Chains A and B, each alone.
Chain A
């Protein structure tokens, strides 16, 4: 059976699981987990089959748009699904991570009152995320895009009775919504300027040169604003660290591996459009580069294990955007390659962090320590994750990060190249600060920690293996992923597959050098303790308080808006309605009609209607002769 033509099966299983869990969740109790696990496993198998089919000879991009969704002012809008190299890869990533998280949650969420609800949400999320990557047009993408946002909101607010969770859920929804309005406007303009929502039609239209560049740029930037919101890029990054209020498996799946990468996916999917607009890609590169170093510098000082990881996610997503901003085959491959490796090692780190939290019941790394001996598996996989994200060869992050550096350098952005290097050293530092504080030294908390059950360690081990080997899929001497991804990409020059510019050896050495330097510094500060930590300085405080961005937004947007609203309410009650009351009072005073009307006699009310009728009939009678005259004139003409 041709699996590609049946790609709808991939999201179908989680949808089915969602429906089943809504219907029977209460009865199933904790068996609900198996519904979720089975469904995502089935999706994963189908996704793998599709993935392998993509390697077949002449595997063309598959598009099915047979579902007539709506007639839009005479134009039929269809929905369906598509399969190409990029989303085939995404399908595998999403289903794999989702399946592992479903398994892991069986242990992590054990005993939770709303266990089946949790699995409902997970299933709905997986369905929506798969919907995002399968969409053949940008309108359908937007629909699923918003759905994943809702699932994220629901899961962040899963512990709804906690005020922090409530605030975080609200923030996640609103901040991403701001970005979504950009995408929303981009969509409407696409309809007018490109005449269609379909990716293929949009790209064809651009290729004919019929669309002015400023229009392409404007659409590109508006779409990118949507990606900024979803992928936590500056200045809309503030929701992502707060989203850590959700259960940790959710942080792994949604706020690290899959949903937050949707923005990166969107930019990659629209790459044909971005290649036609140097300004838009420039914006992407700088926003990405700035976010990379900005978030990394905040990560340096955070005390909450999940928040450190959250800022590292923001930073790594910035790297991906930076790569895509290079506007070349190399950038495209590097960005999507990093998306893949990051999905593995970041999901790993979150699951391992969850395992730690599960054991010590705190998220403050200064209350941990000495866990290496007590949690051997968790410690080991966490170390693998740290090495991968720090870019130490031969772990996965090394390969993809190096490609990003090369792509940035060859695109001529030396400034961004330097920023990326500094951010890389930050990353290595804060990840190992985290590692040493958590696992080395003496236990600082009182909890009696022990290793998590097998249902939680197994998924971590799988991800750990991937975090080690995934990088070899695209090495400078055998760029298999790059060749495959760029195969059939019309916008790139033939044969370009992202590895034309092999990394000069000094780039590799420099990249590894800064990472090792960061790790070493972390060791001396937090492992061995020979270098003083330097807390309390201005920069420390700025970083620790996240540059006061939340406070700034509060002062500039939130509070003035509320004050304005209150003022307007006073205006509404006293001025707008006051005028009405004044007019009514005057009428009452003059005619005394109001008093009689208000005394509750039904006849009076009836009279009001009756007078209207009389007036109408009188008008008709008076007008009658006049009308007749005109009618004759009209009939004659």
Chain B
């Protein structure tokens, strides 16, 4: 049973898809209820996974492997396996995925048409995300990755606001380019390595015994080729994270897509970029990661400051959040660029933390938009009077996003910076300016919406209802839990970190 666990978890959202297929289109209530309840299955499984995770185990655990496809070559067959496994890096992201999925499903209750398609696509995306984090080989990773992009494209294009089709095209074009680059690298790696298994590739590329690393041996991979592969991977994931200047797909999407879709995208999808940087760039090419760490640190600082400066002048809250995501993902890059255990731990924390906080912030903005018909701070103000609960939670979420101690944002930011100060203090000091700017733009936006005099037409708006409070409280509780007791996240990470870090020379 245990061996099947990850496979079952990965495909568990399909149970909902199956059931939804039998529900007539004309019953939106049933579809919504079923679609939301279906996300509880992976959530429960993921929590079981967390509870039973073996923090001391080296390498992947709960591994399952079977022969999937055989490619005939001459008289032999090259097997492509279906193989799953997790470690301390993927486990937290799996839990994050299922939490965000359930919360987003609740946020999707406001979807106003074609409910059946929406929830089916939604659950397929969830499967894709889970598959990405459980995949032990590149082929599978790629397939699941595509399973997140294509349905996302439809969800962005069909549901949402006026200009949604343009937004979805942009999303697809960008991510398509990213996928194409990724695919080329994967094929190249397969040709060079003869395997798609990530662990084997890592061993082949890093073990001193491997012929790939001994000059003059047949199959030796020269440094220039390694660098090319490293940069290609970096470019592919730069779109996902996104690294400035590949971020503009986010802006339209954030403005036009349905909030539930953005919660998924900002909460989980963009984290795949960071995850892959650790899983592939750092694991396969540790020496290039080390040599180019200054570049990554600089890119991170640019992300932080660029995102923050632009967030500072946005009147549209959704755009502010888009730029804020750019800025916060810069901290992930900083942590990785530190090339030590502190920084990596910070980067992983930041991915989880930002996933929770971004989803929460976007949910709140959606609630405000629903009530007032706008999310532009010039047309808002004083909402704390008519909606004290929503405003209070927005203020708290803002504090979390600004890295306030006691909430998850702080410890993530802190560890990333501690890491970077250990190796690149000057760049870190420049990046630390972002901490001030973050407070400035977040305060400007949230106080602009909730403080000051209230507009007359907003005076009698209703505050959050119970069903809307639940998602906010769940997310906030997790943010505070990690903030107050970060050991819940740090303990499962340690063994994996010890595995990654010696290799990268930290």
Contact = CB atoms under 8 A, between A and B. Distances in A.
Interface of A: 68-74, 142-147, 150, 157, 160-163, 165-166, 169-170, 173-174, 177-178, 180-181, 184-185, 187-189, 191-192, 561-562, 564-566, 568-569, 572, 576-577, 579-580, 584, 597-598, 600, 605-606, 608-609, 612-613, 615-617, 619-621, 623-628, 630-631, 633-634, 637
Sorted nearest first, the 10 A-B pairs with minimum C-beta distance are A624-B73, A73-B341, A619-B187, A143-B405, A565-B313, A627-B194, A623-B191, A166-B451, A577-B248, A70-B486
Interface in B399-445: 399, 404-406, 410-411, 414-415, 417-419, 421-422, 425, 428-429, 432-433, 435-436, 439-440, 443-444
Contacts of B180: 612
Contacts of B194: 627-628, 630-631, 634
A403 to B, nearest CB: 35
B421 A568 contact: no
Contacts of B28: none
A184 B219 contact: no
Contact of A620 (B190, B244, B429, B433): B190
Nearest to B305: A568
A188 B447 contact: no
A72 B187 contact: no
Given A73-B340, A188-B418, A609 B146 contact: yes
B452 interface: yes
A184 B438 CA distance: 15
A185 B432 contact: yes
Contact of B183 (A169, A615, A633): A615
Given A145-B405, A624-B74, A631-B195, 18 more contacts: A68-B487, A70-B486, A73-B341, A143-B405, A163-B453, A184-B432, A189-B425, A561-B312, A598-B165, A605-B153, A608-B172, A613-B143, A616-B187, A620-B71, A620-B80, A625-B74, A628-B76, A633-B211
Contacts of A188: 414, 417-418, 421-422, 428
A619 B139 CA distance: 12
A623 B187 contact: yes
Contacts of B435: 177, 180-181, 184
B104 interface: no
A154 to B, nearest CB: 8
A69 B487 contact: yes
Interface string B335-350: 0000011100100000
A574 to B, nearest CB: 11
A566 B72 CA distance: 59
Nearest to A580: B248
11 contacts: A73-B341, A145-B405, A157-B447, A161-B452, A173-B439, A174-B443, A184-B435, A568-B306, A568-B310, A577-B248, A613-B143
Nearest to A171: B443
B382 interface: yes
Contacts of B406: 143, 146-147
Contact of B452 (A160, A187, A562): A160
A572 B451 CA distance: 29
A584 B173 contact: yes
B18 interface: no
Interface residues of B, number: 97
Interface stretch (B38-46, B228-236, B489-497): B489-497
B71 A161 contact: no
Given A71-B494, A166-B451, A568-B309, A623 B440 contact: no
A338 to B, nearest CB: 29
B8 interface: no
B454 interface: yes
B505 interface: no
Residue among A73, A180, A580 with the most chain B CB within 10 A? Answer: A73
A169 B310 contact: no
Contacts of A147: 404-406
A598 to B, nearest CB: 6
Contacts of B399: 150
B172 A565 contact: no
Contacts of A160: 382, 384, 450-452
Interface string B460-491: 00000000000000000000000001110011
B292 interface: no
Contacts of B419: 73
Contacts of A579: 245
A191 B418 contact: yes
B183 A70 contact: no
Contacts of B165: 598, 600
Interface of A is mostly: helix
Given A608-B176, A619-B190, A628-B76, A189 B421 contact: yes
A37 B416 CA distance: 41
A169 B442 CA distance: 13
Nearest to B485: A69
Contacts of B34: none
B1 interface: no
Contacts of B439: 173-174, 177
B78 interface: yes
A169 B447 contact: yes
Nearest to A76: B487
A565 B71 contact: no
B471 to A, nearest CB: 19
Contacts of A184: 414, 417, 432, 435
B49 interface: no
A495 B162 CA distance: 78
B78 A170 contact: no
**Most B Cβ at <10 Å: residue of A584, A609, A620:** A620
B150 interface: yes
A353 to B, nearest CB: 25
Contacts of B422: 188, 192
A565 B310 contact: yes
A161 B312 CA distance: 22
A191 to B, nearest CB: 5
Contacts of B454: 161
A114 to B, nearest CB: 9
B265 interface: no
A343 B179 CA distance: 63
A628 B73 contact: yes
Interface string B30-66: 0000000000000000000000000000000000000
A144 B483 CA distance: 12
Interface hub of B154, B487, B494 (most chain A Cβ within 10 A): B487
Nearest to A625: B73
Contact of A616 (B183, B421, B444): B183
Interface in B69-88: 71-74, 76, 78, 80
Most B CB atoms within 10 A — which of A143, A561, A579?
A: A143
Nearest to B174: A580
Contacts of B193: 627, 630
A623 B405 contact: no
B451 A637 contact: no
Contacts of B110: none
Contacts of B428: 185, 188
A624 B313 contact: no
A156 to B, nearest CB: 11
Nearest to B418: A188
Interface string B145-164: 01001100110000000000
Most central of A178, A617, A621, A623 by chain B CB within 10 Å: A623
Contacts of B133: none
A597 B251 CA distance: 21
B225 interface: no
B217 interface: yes
Nearest to B399: A150
Interface in B174-190: 174, 176, 179-180, 183, 186-187, 190
B175 to A, nearest CB: 10
B188 to A, nearest CB: 8
